[in-house]
A and B are shown apart, each in its own frame.
Chain A
Amino acid sequence: MELDIVEYELSDEIRRGIDSILQNLFSKTNPELIVLADDAGRIISLKGKTSEELAEFVASLVSGIFGATLEMGKMLSISELDMVQFESKDSDVIIKAVKPRFLMGIMVKGGTAIGSVRLFLKQAAQELEETLSRLELVPKKVVKIDLQTIEDKLRKVMGV
């Protein structure tokens, strides 16, 4: 058996579009962090000073928190739930759904005009929906590898 391992990524055009929208939102709201992820917790893009690993975890939790809230919404017959917000002494966090299956989380310092943040976030979400509606995955790299090789490599890497 032979495997064709194909790695996909967003097209350059889509990536530039996303980056521009997030940068614009960043400039308007001066947040600590903006994360765009899919509803399975895979990070698409981020703005802010944080490590890649931390951002991956944040993306998982953003999707988890939002998904859990949706489940609660179903049980309580809350329809069209598309934004979640929570506040602390230091920071405010808002998570907004971006159709068809993405989520954007933004964290701003406490005392920031949260109404403005929500407004800019909604605008950015609309722009992202337009950009992501043109989403196409493009093949980046194809590697041919047989099953025995993959097993051997995994055993070596993991020391089994």
Chain B
Amino acid sequence: MRLKVVYFGSSLAGKSTNVKKLYEMLRERGIVKGDMISMETDEQRTLFVEMFISSINIEGIDLEIKTLTTPGQFRLHPLRKVILKDVDGLVFVVDSQKERERVNFLTMRETAAVLKEEGRNLFEVPVVVQYNKRDMPTAMPIEDMEMMFNPWGTDFVEAVAIKGVGVVETFMKIVKNVLVKKYAKASSLQ
């Protein structure tokens, strides 16, 4: 079974850092296949995509999870549309710094618009919200961020991705949420 998980968020929120750290950490655990592909500009900004494949076996079912990032820069909107095509699960990487509050919000709005063009609703796609850069001095309180950036009321994770904090936990939660969304029996949702 193949799943497509995409990390989205504002420019410099830490999407690439998340995916690179995740690749390293899962590789140590022997659950990645092949290398990580990264298309960056000379300034180490994501131009197109970063991606890798992880392989997990649960109860005899092989899950192949392709993890991708969207480029965060606003000018790369057309490429975000391409990468978000038929996504199974989203990780919303939110920069916790107060000065990034508005750009976080704009990113969420843009992503909703991109999915709407594809005939999908952002609020029906499995999501995990990751509040990144929790170690920064201007990091906003979680309660305030929950009100602004988690309209799904879904799982959230506090992270310092550059140190690997919260990275694997975020990934685990999105895989779980995708499986629940895709395969939960309606009759047992009581």
Contact = CB atoms under 8 A, between A and B. Distances in A.
Contacts of A53: 33-35, 53
Contacts of B102: none
A39 B31 contact: no
For the residues of B in contact with A, the DSSP-based class is mixed
B60 A3 contact: no
B26 interface: yes
Interface string A29-64: 000000000111110000000011110110011011
B66 A159 contact: no
B79 A68 contact: yes
A40 B33 contact: no
B34 A143 contact: no
Contacts of A4: 183, 185
A150 B34 contact: no
B29 A157 contact: yes
A67 to B, nearest CB: 4
B33 A52 contact: yes
Contacts of A143: 58-61
Contacts of B2: 42
B4 A42 contact: yes
Interface in A128-155: 141, 143, 145, 147, 149-151, 153-155
B2 to A, nearest CB: 5
A145 B57 CA distance: 13
Interface string B44-76: 000011010100111111001010100000000
Interface in A64-90: 64, 67-68, 71-72, 75
Contacts of B83: 64
Contact of A151 (B33, B48, B176, B183): B176
Contact of B82 (A54, A71, A160): A71
Given A154-B56, A157-B31, A160-B168, A64 B176 contact: no
The 4 tightest CB contacts between A and B, nearest first, are: A53-B34, A40-B86, A67-B82, A71-B78
Interface of A: 1-8, 38-42, 51-54, 56-57, 60-61, 63-64, 67-68, 71-72, 75, 141, 143, 145, 147, 149-151, 153-155, 157-160
29 contacts: A1-B189, A2-B184, A5-B183, A39-B86, A40-B85, A42-B2, A42-B86, A51-B34, A53-B34, A56-B53, A57-B34, A60-B66, A60-B68, A63-B82, A63-B85, A64-B49, A64-B83, A67-B82, A68-B78, A75-B78, A141-B61, A143-B61, A147-B176, A147-B180, A150-B58, A150-B176, A157-B56, A158-B171, A158-B172
